[in-house]
Structure 1
Amino acid sequence: MTGYFGIGIFMPKNETNMGTLWRSAAILGASFIFTIGKRYKKQSTDTNKSWTEIPLYHYTDFEDFFRHLPYSCQLVAVELDGKAVPVEQFRHPERCVYLLGAEDHGLPPTVLAKCHHLVQLPGETSLNVASAGTVVLYDRHLKSALAKQL
């Protein structure tokens, strides 16, 4: 799989999640990470100094973020929702941005309505947001590696 992908959190509740997600994103090949609605502060959870490998962008609100979505890039919401495709069945777009909601409020309906895809992880309750992001990125990595073997 060629192309690029980024991952970020809408209204992150806890800054330590961003440090963990940044580390996972750098390890699993993301091109960038971002926050919407809350700035990031340096975290001890980013033990790899991922800020030296991939950039972090901050957007003041969803409209600001959506205006800057790259050309021909699909927005993929990761959310527990009856309309979501299970991650095991999801085909990751070549160029996309994964959007996660904070554990306490998820993604609002107005944001979900603008997403090209809706994917969910197994389970009846939400994972920690950094863990959820890591699972999605690993799923993309694994499916890409398997496709190269065929």
Structure 2
Amino acid sequence: MIDNFENEFFGIGIQNGKTPENLGVLWRSAQNMGASFIFTIGNRYAKQASDTHNAVKAMPYFHYDTFEDFYNHLPKGAMLVGVELTEDAEPLETFKHPKRCVYLLGAEDHGLSKKAIEKSHFLIKFKSELSINVSVAGSIVMYDRGINKPRFIRASG
């Protein structure tokens, strides 16, 4: 089978999300900004009042009990992009988004797990004095992806 690595897609989700409202807002943004799928790791919320466009029924939704389960099911050719305010993270302002990737956000109070940080192909951050709401952070990342910036292309092989 020939895999066309030129096709772009992205998914976005939250690890151990704190509130269903955050997920609903993120999913609504994901639907509006062209995400291919949405997901949760750990805490699961099937329906949110803030998902007024019912994105969970409009695009594929996946749930994983553990990070390992999620990581073992990354789409072929997709790179994991963790969103975390760390010293080593690349600034979003200059980051070249992969053509095929999955964005992973952590809950506001704990961030990403150590394992998620270690397994991410990229870690990105953006200018913010303090941590911000996870759905707002995800929306900023998706907006940045949508503007006309060069893409990173993963070498096949």
TM range (shorter): over 0.9
Structure 1 unaligned regions, length at least 5: none
Could you tell me how far apart the structure 2 residues matched to 1:2 and 1:73 are? Answer: 11
1:51 matched to 2:21? The reply is no
Distance 2:36 2:54 in 1: 15
Deviations 1:25-58 (A, max 9, x none): 0000000010000111311111112123212110
Structure 1 or 2: larger helix share?
A: 1
Tell me how far 1:4 sits from its aligned partner.
0.5
Once superposed, which parts of structure 1, at least 4 consecutive aligned residues long, lie more than 6 Å away?
Answer: none
Match runs of 1:131-146 below 5 Å: 131-143=136-148
Q: Which residue of 2 aligns with 1:72?
A: 77
Q: CA deviation at 1:2?
A: 4.1
Sequence identity percentage = 51
Q: Name 2:155's counterpart in structure 1.
A: none
Q: What residue number does 1:28 align with?
A: 33
CA distance in 1, matches of 2:148, 2:15: 26
Aligned to 2:154: none
Q: Deviations over 1:89-148 (max 9, x none)?
A: 10000000000000000012221010000000211211100000000000001135x88x
Matched, 1:99 2:112: no
Q: Deviations over 1:66-85 (max 9, x none)?
A: 01011111000000000011
What is the aligned residue count?
Answer: 146
Q: Distance in 1 between matches of 2:24 and 2:81?
A: 21
Which residue is 2:115 aligned to? Answer: 110
Q: Structure 2: how far apart are the matches of 1:67 and 1:110?
A: 13
Determine whether 1:122 maps to 2:127: yes
Q: Which runs of 5+ in 2 are unaligned?
A: 1-5, 152-157
| 1:16 counterpart = 2:16 | no
User: What letter corresponds to residue 53 of structure 1 in structure 2?
Assistant: A
TM-score scaled by length of structure 2: 0.88
Q: Which residue type is aligned with residue 128 of structure 1? A: N
Q: CA RMSD in A?
A: 1.5
